[in-house]
Structure 1
Amino acid sequence: MTSETDLEHARRIAVDAAEAAGLLLSAGTGGIVEINSKGDHGDVVTNLDLAAEKLLLERVLTAFPGHAVIAEESGRLGEPGSEWTWVIDPLDGTNNVAIGLPLYAVGLALCRDGRPELGVVHEPVTGRTWSAIRGRGALGPGGPLTTPPYRPAAHGPVLAWIQGYGVRRGDAVAGALKAGLDEHARRVLRLWAPLLAWVMLARGDIDGIIGYRTGIVDLPGGLLIAREAGALVTAFDGTPFDAPLSGDGHDFVASRPGLLDDLLELVGDRIRR
């Protein structure tokens, strides 16, 4: 699977699957949601996560039986050692759903040798979908998506903060970064739904994102959409960042054009303290 036509086919499969999962989630949030603890970091899982993931896995592995999968709840599945790996987040924003907050998304990414080539984010509450193929731009509900440049505001930018579940209370770096953002930004959003932060950046609704020790499943698809729309993404040291699938705890800075250097300076200053 190397041609543009193949990736367009994969996009159609992913969009259809994400929107079907979105309908399942929308219907489910109107009833009783079963909530259970997950892990040792305060995360939760619901019956909706599991049902949506089952649907997505069936759609993806039926269409692409030779591909591997990394799924939020099921872990690694499919063909081991495959050149192509799907990354599936069936319900990004589970903690929001658990408290009745209608702020969540479905995300899929298709990576080749660990590099995202296709990303899809669907927001069930509004029925909107965003997608991107590497090198071919990003699409939103109204067509091609372009991130507008940052224009300095009197009270600073609007930023989103994303941290991984493994970040402990009292983490000195996290504390320093969050204090810096609170000091310099007009608003700091903590959405508990990173995929929505990525599409907000792609649209220009927010100005930047700082990610600290972030996980894998809610990273490559959203990052690719934002980058293909024109947003800039680097590691904390300013080197290229492309959402690796290996390891955990990834740090990054993302922004609209015209703001990246300021955010890198802010991050570097806070880390050195």
Structure 2
Amino acid sequence: MRLDILVDTAIAEVVNAHRINLLSEELGSIDNGSAITLVTDPVDGTANAASGVPLSAFAGVIAVDGVPTEALTSWLDTGRCWHTVAGQPSPYRTNGRTELDGAAVSLLRPQPQIADAWWRVATRAARIRILSTSCLEAVLVTEKSTDAFADAGSDTHRIVDLAAAMVTVPAAGGAVIDVRGRPLEIDPDLTRRWSGVVAATPRLAEELPETIRGTEDR
């Protein structure tokens, strides 16, 4: 949408002024020959923002030689921010939930090809939310607002959707993984897709993909 382009263009101007690289959902990759890359989803939840639904966020990560080192997520409607530096104490802490049964889980919208997987999660969780803003849903796990967030196998996520959570969530005691066990990598190839899982604990992060894949009882 035009909103994405306006925000992303402003970000690109700053990136170019500082001669660092950019990996962005809208503009793709800008290589300025730097070891430092800003990985960003400039407006996550664009459809919400354009419709006046107050659920959208900016998410950005500084990666050095491909390693995420610092993350910022900003809830655009309220101005609330979550800032984390890898290796430093985090002010955020998950609720420590370890089981899917009875949990509060945010999910991407159900799609025909993942309907069974989506329903397997929904029937075990106590509460399901669809907020349509992955970056915000992920960071809410770090504040005990919800227990987990997942794509139930549709391979919708790009790395820009998950990069901020890769720093912020583990520092708060949680975990970020892919449903199919694929490594999450800072890669300028934005055709790569994942089904991200963000959970309050590593144990819950393991249980969710098993439920999504239908392998939990095998």
- Per the TM superposition, whether the score is higher than 0.5 is yes
**Per the alignment, in what secondary structure is the counterpart of residue 47 of structure 2?**
helix
- Alignment match, 1:192: 132
Gaps in structure 1 of 5+ consecutive residues: 1-44, 139-143
Corresponding position: 1:170 with 2:115: no
Number of residue pairs aligned between Structure 1 and Structure 2:
212
Corresponding position: 1:248 with 2:192: yes
Please give the alpha-carbon distance, in whole angstroms, between the structure 2 residues aligned to 1:108 and 1:116.
10
**Per the alignment, in what secondary structure is the counterpart of residue 87 of structure 1?**
strand
Once the two structures are aligned, what percentage of the paired residues are identical? Answer: 24
Q: CA deviation at 1:178?
A: 0.8
Please give the alpha-carbon distance, in whole angstroms, between the structure 2 residues aligned to 1:120 and 1:178.
29
- Alignment match, 1:13: none
**Per the alignment, in what secondary structure is the counterpart of residue 262 of structure 1?**
helix
**Per the alignment, in what secondary structure is the counterpart of residue 29 of structure 2?**
strand
1:54 aligned to which of 9, 34, 37: 9
Q: CA deviation at 1:271?
A: 9.4
Gaps in structure 2 of 5+ consecutive residues: none
| 1:207–1:113 distance in 2 versus 1, CA, 3 Å | same
- Alignment match, 1:78: 31
Q: Check conservation: 2:106, 2:130, Cα contact below 8 A.
A: yes
Pairing 1:13-28 to 2, within 5 Å after superposition: none
**Per the alignment, in what secondary structure is the counterpart of residue 265 of structure 1?**
helix
Corresponding position: 1:230 with 2:173: yes
Q: CA deviation at 1:223?
A: 2.9
The CA RMSD over aligned residues, in Å, is 2.8
Structure 1 segments (4+ residues) deviating >4 Å: 270-273
Please give the alpha-carbon distance, in whole angstroms, between the structure 2 residues aligned to 1:156 and 1:107.
29
1:215-270 residue CA offsets vs partner (Å, 9 max, x unmatched): 1222101331112111122333567x444424521123321125334324312326
Q: CA deviation at 1:272?
A: 10
Q: Check conservation: 2:16, 2:32, Cα contact below 8 A.
A: no
Q: Check conservation: 1:198, 1:225, Cα contact below 8 A.
A: no
**Per the alignment, in what secondary structure is the counterpart of residue 160 of structure 2?**
coil
Pairing 1:117-136 to 2, within 5 Å after superposition: 117-136=69-88
Pairing 1:73-222 to 2, within 5 Å after superposition: 73-80=26-33, 82-138=34-90, 144-150=91-97, 156-162=102-108, 170-171=112-113, 174-211=114-151, 212=153, 213=155, 214-222=157-165
AA paired with 1:268? R
- Alignment match, 2:204: 259
| 1:100–1:160 distance in 2 versus 1, CA, 3 Å | same
